[in-house]
């Protein structure tokens, strides 16, 4: 998932640059060359037969088939060995995706039913995964990993549903002959798969022929992309294949030669499914090349005063913009609430509604598939321009709205806790284990106020509290701060390893330096990155794992006995603090204790 995010978020920058370039080109003194260039004919001929499309159709109908092929690969993998296997986990994002399509389509039709733009109801239904992940990268720690997993699952289901809408509702007149040829070619591919014939040239030739036949039939060829992607073999790494790969590598290492190198490479490749190998190969091409070229070819729309004035009065523009902003927010929120209410499924992690609302809002960023449907839904270039302006305006507002919701939800604070955490009023209110010599302490031993935090280095709320505590110590120099470990392994996969590295640093008298480093790099806590931080402080990590595990377990036991079930949990002078985790609230509580009063 992290590799996927890195590619998607990096591709967002390229996609944004291509979009801006398309807009600048279409509004420059050379605007006439924009349409001229993309209408340039390009084709192939063989004898008396020829196959010709203009450049824009080669991009939209050709290159974008590869984009949808990658979506098919992702969907197939998730259904077979990924998150979509668990019906309880897929139920909520699947229904949310469905709601996020129905409500925007309904809003659009409410403004355009019976009019010339009625056919564009499919434009606001799709979410642009690349742009959404790019916005979430800007949101940073305010968007926890479980929410990213939820939105990624929602986006995959959304993409599949959008492709079905394109295939069913945006297909012109059918050619029965070409459609029959397409079915024969598809049957041939299925036959080769059943016979376990895996020669790539055969599949490439049949796949290209199937694409041509589907294009000629009138069905949009994007359906070919997702169908072929779903047919690619996928399986979890099998133990015997992994063992054979290890043996082949060892054999090559003991007697390296060209034959053994080829054999080892082939054996290692076979240990991983074709699906995953193709994703690794094609995903960067899709994110960094194909989708940006598509944006360059389709995002160019005139934004002069006349075009903006016409768009402002167009129900097409308003239908798309409102569908993306309000429709996606309402549809995904309702689609999330309903299955949770009916107990059809569960959410990953311990998400709160503020985070879900932020995710629903940014899901209103519709770009790639939305522009794709514009080209299919409207023949009039003026209406197309109105639709593209609606997409751009709606996506910008959705991004800003999502950021604002995340900001407001973050300002309210929160706690990372597993779903089974008990109600707070039934838990102990006093610190079970007083501060002792083995604790990690900042501040004077004779401080009037001691703040004990049970924290997790990967918890976003602990990261926010860390910045608050830095300012709090400046405001109250006599404050003593104690940090105890409470890694939430169910929610944060790298928290335990980060705690071990912090204890390694403590052995070298550098706990607080590592503590500050880990909170400054909360999104980068892989084993390799943790080792880099340790080397930067001059020590080798994970030298006393057993002893440090016992030390962390002691902190966890004291947390449990003190009633701490989530992070961060704060105790002031041994009593649990229930207020907000912002600077002013904590400062008032500390000042009250310093003056001899109890915490409010």
CA-CA distance, 291 to 486, in Å (whole number)?
43
Q: Do 402 and 439 belong to one domain?
A: no
* Residue 461 sits in the same domain as residue 585: yes
CA–CA separation, 78 vs 154, rounded Å? Answer: 12
207 in a domain, yes or no? no
Q: Is residue 50 part of a domain?
A: no
Fill in the DSSP letter of residue 596. T
473 within a domain of the structure (yes/no): yes
pLDDT at 142: 61
SS3 of residue 104 by DSSP: helix
Same domain, residue pair 457 and 385: no
Is 204 inside any structural domain?
A: no
In a domain, 542, yes or no: yes
Structural domain tally of the chain? 2
Residues 361 and 429 placed together within one structural domain of the fold: no
Same domain, 384 and 511: no
Q: Give 249's Cβ-side CA count (13 Å radius).
A: 10
- 388 and 434 both lie in a single domain: no
Which sign, positive or negative, has the C-alpha torsion 269, 274, 275, 280? positive
The parent domain of residue 360 ranges over 2-25+55-170+286-411
Q: Quote the pLDDT of residue 422.
A: 43
CATH of the domain at 337: 1.20.1530.10
3-state secondary structure of 451: strand
DSSP state of 582: S
Task: Say whether both 293 and 430 belong to one domain.
Answer: no
| Same domain (yes/no): 365, 392 | yes
pLDDT reported for residue 58: 86
For residue 36, being part of any structural domain is answered with no
The residue among 95, 108, 113 whose CA lies nearest residue 373 is 108
| E strand or H helix that includes residue 572 | strand 569-572
pLDDT computed for residue 471 by the predictor: 93
Cα dihedral value 193, 197, 199, 201, nearest 10: -60
Phi and psi angles of residue 220, each rounded to the nearest 5 degrees, phi first: -70, 135
**Structure confidence at residue 403 (pLDDT):** 85
Q: Are residues 369 and 518 in the same domain?
A: no
b/e string for 278-313 if b means 16 or more Cβ within 10 A? bbeebbeebbbebbbbbbbbbbbbbeeeebeebbee
Q: Are residues 400 and 431 in the same domain?
A: no
Cα 439-471-404 angle, rounded to 5 deg: 115
Q: Which of 411, 443, 468 is the last residue of a domain?
A: 411
pLDDT at 407: 77
Residue 466 contacts by C-beta under 8 Å, 6 or more apart in sequence?
455, 516, 519
Count of Cβ atoms closer than 10 Å to residue 70 Cβ:
23
| Residues 388 and 451 both lie in one domain | no
In a domain, 280, yes or no: no
Tokens describing residue 134: 């790019």
CA 267 to chain centre: 32
Q: Which of 412, 398, 399 is nearest to 354 (CA)?
A: 412
Contacts of 195 (CB under 8 A, 6+ apart): none
Domain boundary among the residues 380, 411, 442 is at 411
CA distances (Å), 374 to each of 289, 385, 491, in order? Answer: 21, 9, 40
Integer Cα distance of 188 and 185 in angstroms: 5
- What CATH number corresponds to the domain at position 449? 3.40.30.10
Averaged over successive runs of 10 residues, the pLDDT of the chain (600 residues) comes to: 57 82 90 88 78 83 83 79 70 90 94 88 85 70 70 80 81 77 87 78 84 79 78 75 81 82 83 80 84 86 87 93 94 92 76 81 86 85 91 92 81 58 64 92 91 92 90 92 90 88 94 94 87 92 90 94 90 91 90 69
In the block, which residue shows the tokens 């926010």? Answer: 464
Task: Report pLDDT for 59.
Answer: 86
Q: How far is CA 62 from CA 107, 190, 214, in A?
A: 32, 22, 12
State the pLDDT at residue 258.
87
DSSP assignment of 532-545 equals HHHHHTT--SSSSH
Phi-psi region of 573 (alpha: psi -120 to 50; beta: other; left: phi over 0): left
The whole-model pTM stands at 0.66
Domain ends where: 411, 438, 470? 411
Neighbours of 587 (CB within 10 A): 16
DSSP 482: E
The verdict on residue 277 lying in a domain is no
Residue 459 shares a structural domain with residue 373: no
């Amino acid at each position: 998932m992290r590799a996927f995010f890195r590619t998607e978020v990096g591709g967002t920058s390229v996609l944004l640059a291509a979009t801006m370039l398309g807009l600048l080109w279409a509004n420059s003194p050379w605007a006439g060359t924009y349409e001229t260039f993309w209408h340039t004919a390009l084709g192939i001929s063989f004898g008396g037969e020829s196959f010709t499309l203009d450049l824009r159709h080669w991009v939209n109908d050709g290159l974008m088939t590869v984009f949808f092929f990658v979506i098919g690969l992702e969907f197939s993998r998730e259904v077979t060995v990924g998150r979509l296997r668990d019906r309880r986990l897929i139920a909520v994002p699947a229904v949310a995706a469905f709601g996020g399509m129905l409500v925007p389509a309904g809003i659009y039709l409410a403004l355009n039913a019976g009019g010339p733009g009625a056919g564009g109801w499919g434009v606001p239904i799709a979410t642009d995964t690349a742009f959404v992940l790019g916005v979430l990268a800007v949101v940073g720690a305010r968007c926890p990993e479980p929410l990213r997993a939820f939105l990624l699952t929602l986006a995959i289901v959304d993409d599949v549903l959008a492709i079905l809408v394109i295939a069913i509702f945006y297909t012109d007149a059918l050619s029965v002959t070409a459609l029959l040829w397409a079915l024969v070619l598809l049957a041939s591919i299925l036959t080769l798969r059943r016979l376990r014939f895996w020669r790539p040239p055969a599949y490439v030739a049949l796949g290209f022929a199937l694409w041509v036949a589907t294009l000629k039939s009138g069905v949009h060829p994007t359906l070919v992309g997702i169908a072929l992607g779903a047919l690619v073999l996928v399986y979890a790494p099998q133990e015997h294949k992994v063992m054979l790969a290890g043996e082949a590598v060892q054999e090559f290492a003991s007697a390296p030669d060209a034959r053994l190198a080829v054999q080892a490479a082939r054996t290692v490749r076979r240990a991983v499914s074709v699906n995953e190998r193709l994703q690794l190969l094609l995903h960067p091409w899709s994110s960094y090349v194909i989708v940006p070229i598509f944006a360059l070819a389709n995002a160019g729309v005139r934004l002069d005063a006349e075009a903006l004035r016409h768009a402002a009065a167009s129900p097409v523009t308003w239908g798309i913009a409102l569908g993306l902003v309000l429709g996606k927010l309402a549809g995904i929120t309702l689609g999330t609430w309903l299955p949770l209410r009916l107990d059809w499924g569960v959410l990953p992690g311990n998400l709160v509604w503020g985070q879900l609302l932020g995710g629903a809002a940014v899901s209103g960023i519709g770009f790639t598939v939305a522009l794709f449907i514009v080209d299919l839904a409207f023949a009039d270039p003026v209406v197309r321009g109105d639709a593209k302006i609606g997409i751009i305006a709606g996506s910008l507002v959705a991004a800003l709205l999502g950021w604002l919701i995340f900001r407001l939800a973050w300002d309210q604070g929160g706690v990372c806790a597993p779903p089974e955490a008990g109600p707070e009023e039934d838990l102990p209110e006093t610190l079970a284990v007083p501060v002792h010599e083995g604790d990690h302490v900042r501040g004077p031993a004779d401080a009037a106020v001691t703040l004990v935090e049970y924290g997790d280095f990967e918890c976003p709320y602990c990261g926010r509290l860390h910045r608050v505590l830095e300012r709090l110590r400046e405001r109250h120099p006599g404050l003593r701060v104690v940090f105890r470990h409470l890694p939430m392994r169910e929610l944060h996969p790298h928290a335990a390893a980060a705690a071990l590295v912090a204890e390694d640093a403590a052995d070298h008298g550098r706990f607080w330096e590592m503590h500050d480093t880990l909170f400054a790099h909360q999104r980068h806590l892989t084993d390799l990155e943790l080792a880099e931080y340790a080397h930067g402080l001059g020590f080798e990590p994970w030298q006393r794992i057993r002893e440090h595990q016992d030390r962390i377990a002691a902190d966890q036991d004291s947390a449990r006995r003190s009633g701490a079930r989530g992070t961060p949990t704060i105790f002031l002078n041994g009593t649990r603090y229930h207020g907000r985790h912002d600077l002013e609230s904590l400062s008032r509580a500390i000042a009250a204790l310093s003056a001899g009063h109890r915490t409010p």
